[in-house]
Every structure is written in structure tokens, then in C-alpha cells.
Amino acid sequence: MQKTAAKSSDAKNAVRIALIGNQNCGKTTLYNALTGKNRRVGNYPGVTVDGESSVIRLDGGECELVDLPGVYSLRPYSAEERVTREYLLRERPDGIINVVDATSPARGLYLTTRVLDLGIPVVLALNMMDEVQARGGRVDACGLEDALGVPVVAISASHGDGTEEVLNAAVKAANDLNSITREPERVGSYARAGAYERPDAVERYDGHVRHGKARRGIKSGGLNAYGGVGADTYSTYAEITGECEDIIYTNAENAGLPPKFAAMLAIEGDGEVLDALALDKNKREALDECVRKLERETGLDAAAASASARYKFVDGICRKYVSQMTKKRFDLDGAALNGALAYPIFALVMALVFWLTFDVVGGRLSELMADACGALSEFAVHLMREANVHPVLIGAVADGVLAGVGAVLSFLPLVVTLFLFLSVLEDTGYMARAAFIMDAPLRRLGLSGKSIVPLLLGFGCSVPAVMASRTLPTERDRRVTVMLVPFMSCGAKIPIYALFASYFFPRKSSLLIFSIYAFGVLLAAVSAAVLKRAMPGSAEAEYVLELPGWRAPTAKNIMRLLRRRAGEFLSRAFGVVLLASVAVWALSSFDPRLRLTYDAEQSILAAAGRILAPVFAPLGFGDWRAASALLTGLSAKEAVIGTLAVLTGEGGIGSVFTRASALSFMSFTLLYTPCAAAVTSIRGELGSAKLAAAALGAGLINAWCVSFFVYRAALLFL
């Protein structure tokens, strides 16, 4: 997580404004527009993986803007949604910008009713108003303002229209409240919320949101806003939740929870909130009585009654202030989701992406980059020799630092190109369609269609792929997906395959490399089937996903994305890979008695390789040089080739491997422990060192066994 908490302490005096909205409502686009930051914005529900914040300078001081994961309510469903609720309750921002997609406002406004329960000043940003107008619809922002009692600003985040206004309105709302109630503590939020209320809004909205101790008298005022048939369920709900709020009021204050919010969730039986409230027996009974009353009078259970009442209120508003759009949205679903065409199209799209990435664009750029790095490194060595720099230092710089930098840079174009294409697919909305059609096959493996995004990202780099698994709804789905990501052969392994394939199988190298990828996917499927039985909990992942509208990808988003992705990869690689590269240089330049050696055979690395070599003998490469190369691969896969080149010297890999053992080595490379950076993120996402160790251990055993069989089979056929 981009430490939102740490950042907020840096900017203590800044007004903190949180962005809240449904998934895919344009929240991150607004955040980007306001901060100018290169954050990835995809047209795939749930791209904001974690909270992120920036400090913006304003005329009258500073404002810290926090982008939170998209949610549909404040009852968390996935790990990333939990981030939103925790932030709102623990950190209590000074103000909230609630982003609502104006093209289908009902769901967004439903969330608004929940956000209002928090008692934090809210400004509503009606996003995509340009599209609403273009399609012949209308949303009355002033009407909504009256009905909800909060400022409403019509915006178009993608064009930057109205974005400044919405931020200013939010800061003003937050400051207005602060100037009225300067409380040192964050408790007592109810009073703060009360102070914020606009006098004219009370009459219309009180029945719904501001229905508490102090204002019991005006409870049915909210009915004016919508009237009609739905009123009964709604007023019953408002009345009963008001009673509950009275019951739990002091407990909520003691627990530091907004009383209104706590009352609503207590009624719906939210375990966490009930625990935090720690109600005594009498209060608990009183609460249960309220719930029974609600259920009796609405004929629904508490959760359904709550959702119904809120949607009735929202529908009332929509009937009054929203006129439907007359023109349809541009839609490719007829083709993309067609029964006969869907899979061929998916296969074609993916083949195109991979071909463009690994051959046409990324592949060529990578070669160019590698050549350029090589030339620069030689030039640097030449300069240092001229300047009479000590040979050890030259070695450290050339074989340690520059080799590491070169490995990273030459691999950068591949990763960036793949992420670029995948992000274009997300931005257009195709990725959500891919999840829809891939759900059935993935489901047979105990996964859900939603796992498609992390798995595809895995072909670029495991680190962001593992992070992307946070959008999955259950712990089990997340864990299984994280464990499968390493099977998707990452971009850093390509040079290894390319070297071996072109050396030992020059005529069939492309086919061979493709087969390795397919082999990885196949083994992932087998492992998933095994995990399905082995992992506790429900054997099936969950799948409920919104299909966002199709959208033309914008150059702005793509350029932003490109910079961001490149930066993300570089910052990781320059940390871990550079360190690893220098370590590998040291290990191969000193002997076990820590004396400098020019003979790699005498080095510490070689000594470790010799100890390990017998383990790999059954796999056909029981050579210390192969073992040493694999050891360096633990730091970064880019290092494997470099180590082999140094250790095999003039003889090349032909002096260590045969055709059969080359195949075995390639499959071992595909399957064994991923690089240090990937291991760190896997450990983080699995949330348990034990589980991570078990997964990695199983991966090693699996790699050994599979390579053993590959070697034996290859001996028979080659």
C-alpha cells in the first residue's frame, strides 16, 4: 500500500479529501486530472488496487487528495474494498468527493446514501456529464443538490471540465465545518455532521440521513423529495434506524464510529461493527427488537429492507431529476461476446498482443537496448582503463553495476510494451469481456474470470501481476491466483529461452519458445486443479462483474500509463536487480576465503554451485556452472544468462549442456523459484510466511520433477 497513513502525517495541516465512488465511475481519472499524476486508469472495474494520495497546493493552503478503491457500498467485498472502509473510519478525512457516473446514476447514488451516513462533509461529482448530454439525456444537478443536501458539481473528468470546481467545493465544505467545530478529537463526529447541515436541506433530507437524537421531530421531511408508493418502506426504515441510532449512540461514540453509520450496519448484522460497539445485554435486545420490527413492517429481512429503502429513495430522486438518454452507447458486444466468435476473437487479440510485444515492437526494441547498453558499458570500461582505475573497481562497475543496469534496461521495452497493449484492452473495456467469456473455462479450475487480468499481466512481470490479484473477492481466489502467476513465464526469462533455443534448436526456436509458454499454462491448469482440492474453503471462486461501456482509448491515458509502468518497473529493478547483480559479481570474484580471484572456478559462487550440482545431475545438468547460474537467477532471472556466459567462457553453453539437458534446464527455469522481487510480493499477498514458503517449496519440487521427466523423455526422443 502506498502508505496513506504515513503521508497524512507529513501533511498535518493539509485538508484531507478522499475520493469515493463505484468501480469504474471515473474516480481515478478525476484524481489524475487533479494531481497530474501518472496513475493507471483502466476501463476494467477495480483498477485502483490500493489507496494513493497526493498533496496539492491551493490558494489558501494545502490539500491532500486520497484516491480509494472503488466500492458499491461500505460493506467490504474484496480486500481492496476493505481499504476504503478502513480509511474512512480510521483516518476520517475532512471531506469526501463522491464521484457518481451520471450515465447510470442509481448505483452511484445508492453509495452516496451510505457515504452520507459517515457524517463527513460530502461533495457530489456528477461525472461523464458530457456523455449524458451527447446521448440526449439530462441530470438536474441543482435538483440533486436540493434532494441530497450536499453540493453537486457536474463534471467531465476525462476532459478536465469542472474538476477544479469540485475540489474547491470539497475543500470549502471541509473548511466550513472545521471553522465551526474545532475539535481536537475525531470523536463526536455527529456534532460535526450536524453543524455542516445546510438549513434548507434539513427539511427534505432529514428523514433519510440526518435523523438522530437532536432532530427527531422532522423525521418525515425526506418524503417530500420523492413521495409516491415507495414512501412506506422508506419512512419505516428511516424511523427504525433513528431508534437504533439512539440505542447505540454512546457505544458508537466510545468506539469512535459515526453513530448513523454504526446504526445502519448494526441493523444489517455487520459482525465487525457489532463487535466494536460492544453492546450490553439490554441494548442488544433493544437493537434486536428494532430489527424484528423493521422486518415485520417491511416484510423483508434487515439487509434487503435496508437496500430497498435506499434504492427507493434513489429511484425517487432519479425519477424527478434524471431524464433518460435517448441514444445508445457505441457497442461492440454483439461481436466480442458472440457465441461463435468470442473465443476466436479472444485468441486472435491475445496472439496479436504477444506477437507485437515479443517480436515486432518489444523484441526489437529490447535488442536495440541491449546493444546500446553493451556499447556504453564497453565505452565506460575503456574510459576507466585510460584513467588507470584499479582493475577490481573496473570489474565491479562493468560486471556488477553496468551488467545489472543493462539487464534491466534491455528487458524494459518488453514489459512496457506488453503492459501498454494490455492496458489498451482494459481502457477500451475489452478486458471485462475477456473475464466474462473466460469465466467458464477458469471456473473448471476453481478460479473466476476475474483472474484473467493478473494471469495475463504475469507474462510481463510477476510483481504487478501478483498485486493485481487484490481485486478478487475472496481470500481463496486471491491465494490461488497468486500461486498460479509464476507459471506465466515472465518477460525476464525470454533471453534464457532465446539463447538455448537458438543454440540447440536453431530451426525450431520460435516453436520451442511458444511451447514453453504453452507448457507453463498447461502446468498452471494442472496445479489449479490440484489446488482446488487442496485449498480449504469453497471450491469455487466468485464471479460478479460489471461490464463497463466501450470506450475509445485515449492517447493521454496511454502516455500516462507508459510513463507510470516504466517507472514502476525501473524502480523495482534498479533496487533489487542492481543489488543482486553486484552481489553476484562479488560472489564470483572472491574465493571462499574472501580473497580476490580472477578465476571464476575458484569463487564462492562456484563453491556453492559444486555443492548443489549433484542435485541437478538426474536432470542432466549436474554441472556446477549450471547450478551457479540458477542460484544467481534467484536474485533476478536476467542474471542467469550473464552468469552462464562468464562461467562457460569460450566454450559457450555447448560445453555444459546437451540438447536433452537444455530442454530440461529450460523447463526448470520456467518453473523454479521466481526472482527476489516476485517472492517478496507473493509473500506479501499471501499474508503468511508459512503459506508462501509452502508454495515456493512445492514450486521447487514441482520444477525438479517436471524437469526430470522432460529430460528422460528428451533422451528417448532426441
Partner 1 sequence: MKMTLDMLKRGEPARVVNVGGEGALRFRLLDLGFVPGTEVKIIRRAPFGDPIEVMLRGYKLTLRQKDAATVEVIKIGGTRGAEDGGKEL
Residues near partner 1 (CB under 8 A): 72-73, 75, 77, 103-104, 106-107, 110, 229-230, 268, 300, 303-304, 306-308, 311-312, 315, 318-319, 322, 324, 333, 337, 339-340, 342-343, 432, 435-437, 439-441, 443, 449, 473-474, 542-547
Residue with smaller CB distance to partner 1, 62 or 295: 295
Residue with smaller CB distance to partner 1, 435 or 677: 435
Q: How far is the CB of 156 from partner 1 (least distance, A)?
A: 19
Which one, of 49, 127, 24, 27, lies nearest residue 545 by Cα?
Answer: 24
| Helix (H) or strand (E) run with residue 152 in it | strand 152-154
Residue with smaller CB distance to partner 1, 298 or 707: 298
Q: How far is the CB of 73 from partner 1 (least distance, A)?
A: 4
255 class by beta-carbon count within 10 Å (0-12 exposed, 13-18 middle, 19+ buried): middle
Residue with smaller CB distance to partner 1, 453 or 580: 453
Pairing relationship of beta strands 52-58 and 61-67 according to DSSP bridges: antiparallel
Residue with smaller CB distance to partner 1, 446 or 460: 446
Residue type present at position 453: V
Q: What distance in Å separates the CA atoms of residue 123 and residue 201, rounded to the nearest whole number?
A: 14
Q: How far is the CB of 113 from partner 1 (least distance, A)?
A: 11
Residue with smaller CB distance to partner 1, 130 or 542: 542
Q: What is the DSSP letter of 603?
A: S
Q: How far is the CB of 190 from partner 1 (least distance, A)?
A: 25
Q: What distance in Å separates the CA atoms of residue 575 and residue 78, rounded to the nearest whole number?
A: 31
Residue with smaller CB distance to partner 1, 268 or 623: 268
Residue with smaller CB distance to partner 1, 76 or 400: 76
Q: How many residues does the chain have?
A: 718
Provide the grid cell at 151: 453540493
- Continuous H helices in 356-457: 362-386, 391-395, 403-428, 430-444, 452-457
Q: How far is the CB of 303 from partner 1 (least distance, A)?
A: 6
Which one, of 314, 295, 313, lies nearest residue 304 by Cα?
Answer: 295
- Continuous H helices in 429-474: 430-444, 452-457, 462-468
Q: How far is the CB of 18 from partner 1 (least distance, A)?
A: 19
Q: How far is the CB of 110 from partner 1 (least distance, A)?
A: 7
Q: How far is the CB of 70 from partner 1 (least distance, A)?
A: 12
Q: Considering just the CA atoms, what is the radius of gyration of the chain in Å? A: 29
Q: What distance in Å separates the CA atoms of residue 405 and residue 570, rounded to the nearest whole number?
A: 10
Q: What distance in Å separates the CA atoms of residue 426 and residue 447, rounded to the nearest whole number?
A: 20
Q: How far is the CB of 339 from partner 1 (least distance, A)?
A: 5
Q: How far is the CB of 293 from partner 1 (least distance, A)?
A: 19
Residue type present at position 99: V
Q: What distance in Å separates the CA atoms of residue 690 and residue 135, rounded to the nearest whole number?
A: 54
Residue with smaller CB distance to partner 1, 253 or 315: 315
**Dihedral (CA of 451, 455, 457, 458) sign:** positive
Residue with smaller CB distance to partner 1, 36 or 299: 299
Q: What distance in Å separates the CA atoms of residue 40 and residue 560, rounded to the nearest whole number?
A: 7
Which one, of 327, 307, 311, lies nearest residue 319 by Cα?
Answer: 311
Q: What distance in Å separates the CA atoms of residue 187 and residue 180, rounded to the nearest whole number?
A: 15
